[in-house]
Chain A
């Protein structure tokens, strides 16, 4: 049995007992667990985030929903309290018609959905089908994100994002998540997405894993990972550090999507980021977290935090 401690691996028990419970303030959780609250928080702070076209808080909100959809072309339907990308429907094209029965939605899995199926999806979300603990939920209709050309050879479908883990506002580790054929377009590592370790100083991809195994090439596109460098890297780090200032969550995961025109944009935040990031980077979180803990009092400004992580990680 290998000595995980010598690799600095942070285990699940320690993650919860030493980082999440003491450093993440329970009252701040709604701002990251509830995507509607996250969207409002980010909007008011002026940080880049997907545009919120419309929201549905209760079933009666769907009465004039058909009218509200008029003029939209593509968008995403999301549960506010969903997890791991569950319950999300991506609409690539809306064929809007004055008659509800003639309105059609072309979704990302090349299916055509009629209006009643759309309403069913909305009501499923409202009833709490996808929410973290089955509570009644709300629906966001949000801007559909695009894929930066850099990723064209790195994905088969879906949207890649960068997960950055920050401790006390300092980025400590980052991972690029690439949806694959077997993950069915989702970015979750345990569903088969590829996770790439990223050098914080440069945005270079260092390692890649799929299903806990190291790989050299992308499984779907055969693209070699060697030497690839994520665009808008410095801006991404800055965005992550800025967003961490908004919430009282010491151990935070920030998911960033790079847009072709506007650069990095915050997709969501997570108060319980997972541990696979360590495998993707082939490096443990513990020494980095301990280093930040010992030096954090000296790091007051946003720039000093970014510099610290660029220099050390």
Chain B
């Protein structure tokens, strides 16, 4: 029996790992569908109530960039709120910016522009029939090659630098490459240094300074150029909000198309699939877009909407019919999202077992912590916790009150359930109106109600009988375990890994068997029994 048990543990742990290795190394399958979530929500907003006096000068000039569809990205929709705060004509303006109206400046209200953008990246150098050639009008050509705004001395310095970098008979592309390599290799990044003069003299500058420098160099040789603006997303797995860099880059007009030159990620003629283009031809607005106090930007991945990666499924079908047949990708999106939600629960139970058996933490009931963490996931952590604490407090009060009325158990629990539902409605309304209690995906579900009701009943009995001290201890235990489960359950890449390789779930059985086999001391028992070594 003992040998069989050991064999079972061994098998449960080894089987999923071997399957994974087999798929990865021998079948060359990817463990997760690649670029599963390249859809992003970007929020661009401005509010004037927290600005200092210097910035207030600029408020009158505020413009918000409006993301546009380009070859490297597709804007699915854009929403502007509130509509009444902007100049009516500007939401469709040709220069791609949204202008607040005069009355807004007094109200100090927040204006927010929300776009959904799908990124694919694009290489402008490789010949591509999709790219339609355009022609610049004479005035545009004039505008994009003009160096007339520069002072004469700066202009002279610029021409000198340009001629030292390239030969006169180099082709346009060759010249631009040389400028690009010069900036990429020689320049020092200085965040506040935006001007062309500094770029020329001290060979350093911000992305804006670098872009201005390259544009100006191009104009020396009558190559049309402009400055554009976007954000480079720094990819972080499993995080909801992502960090990003505000980036200015130059675009040059060659052979009938605008070609990007990115010095921030050292890409010539290429927009990567982690870059959102927000505005083109931005020289006039650069000071505003750059200012974080005036224009704030917030980037968030939209994972669930792109859960199904058709490309991955097709590839799987053609190459590995067996694995495609047992893949969860077969199901409809709604079923997939259910699986996506429950896949990590077995690993939540591993945490629970570990905390109870190895650490020795007490919890209300056995699976309450996992149910609670599901509740937090279902709503959101802030919403969940706040709701939870309010409900527990009110539940306790109603119990103490109803105890005095000698109300029988079933009606009393029914009243409790009713109160929980009332509070749930109240909280949902609060969440909808305030915005600070955001609810995940804007959806709520039934089942948290029952979880909470059962919890309160246990909690209040425990409180009355065991006293505050033990109840707080056990509540903290329950919470710490459910928070750990919550953290685990919100790791997106882990979910994706298990979604694509569901056999990994067997691992949870193996580890649980292993933990169930542990007969040693619990961590907290060292604390509990440490007195035994004291005094004789």
Contacts and interface: CB of A to CB of B under 8 A. Distances in A.
Contacts of A117: 406
B526 A12 contact: no
A279 B410 contact: no
Nearest to B406: A120
Contacts, number: 75
Given A4-B521, A4-B526, A11-B525, A129 B461 contact: yes
Given A13-B357, A127-B408, A213 B531 contact: yes
A14 interface: yes
A212 to B, nearest CB: 6
Contacts of B406: 116-117, 120
Given A13-B519, A129-B409, A190-B470, A279 B525 contact: no
A7 B519 contact: no
Contact of B519 (A17, A84, A86, A212): A17
A13 B526 contact: no
A283 B522 CA distance: 18
Nearest to A2: B533
B465 interface: yes
Interface string A1-40: 1101101010111100110000000000000000000000
A7 B533 contact: yes
A191 interface: yes
A4 B467 CA distance: 30
Nearest to A120: B406
Nearest to B536: A282
B409 A124 contact: yes
B322 interface: no
A282 B532 contact: yes
B360 interface: yes
Interface in B370-420: 406, 408-410
Interface size class of A (residues with CB under 8 A): 20 to 34
A278 interface: yes
B220 to A, nearest CB: 73
Residue among B357, B467, B518 with the most chain A CB within 10 A? B467
A9 B519 contact: no
A306 B408 CA distance: 48
A156 interface: no
A13 B521 contact: yes
B535 interface: yes
Residue among A12, A117, A284 with the most chain B CB within 10 A? A12
Contacts of B525: 4, 9, 11-12
B526 A2 contact: yes
B10 to A, nearest CB: 20
Contacts of B521: 4-5, 9, 11, 13-14
Contacts of A273: none
Interface string B514-536: 00001111100110111111110
A12 B465 contact: no
Contacts of B95: none
Contacts of B409: 123-124, 127-129
A214 interface: yes
Given A123-B408, A124-B409, A127-B409, A14 B520 contact: yes
Contacts of B168: none
A1 B529 contact: no
Contacts of B518: 13
A191 B462 CA distance: 12
A37 to B, nearest CB: 23
Nearest to A129: B409
Contacts of A283: 532
Contacts of A7: 529, 532-533
Given A9-B529, A130-B461, A191-B470, 14 more contacts: A7-B529, A7-B532, A12-B522, A13-B521, A116-B406, A123-B409, A127-B408, A127-B410, A129-B409, A212-B531, A214-B535, A282-B532, A283-B532, A284-B532
Q: Which 5 A-B pairs have the closest CB atoms?
A: A127-B409, A120-B406, A11-B521, A14-B519, A2-B533
21 contacts: A2-B533, A4-B529, A4-B532, A5-B521, A7-B529, A7-B533, A11-B519, A11-B520, A11-B522, A13-B357, A14-B519, A14-B521, A17-B519, A116-B406, A117-B406, A120-B406, A124-B409, A130-B461, A191-B470, A212-B528, A282-B532
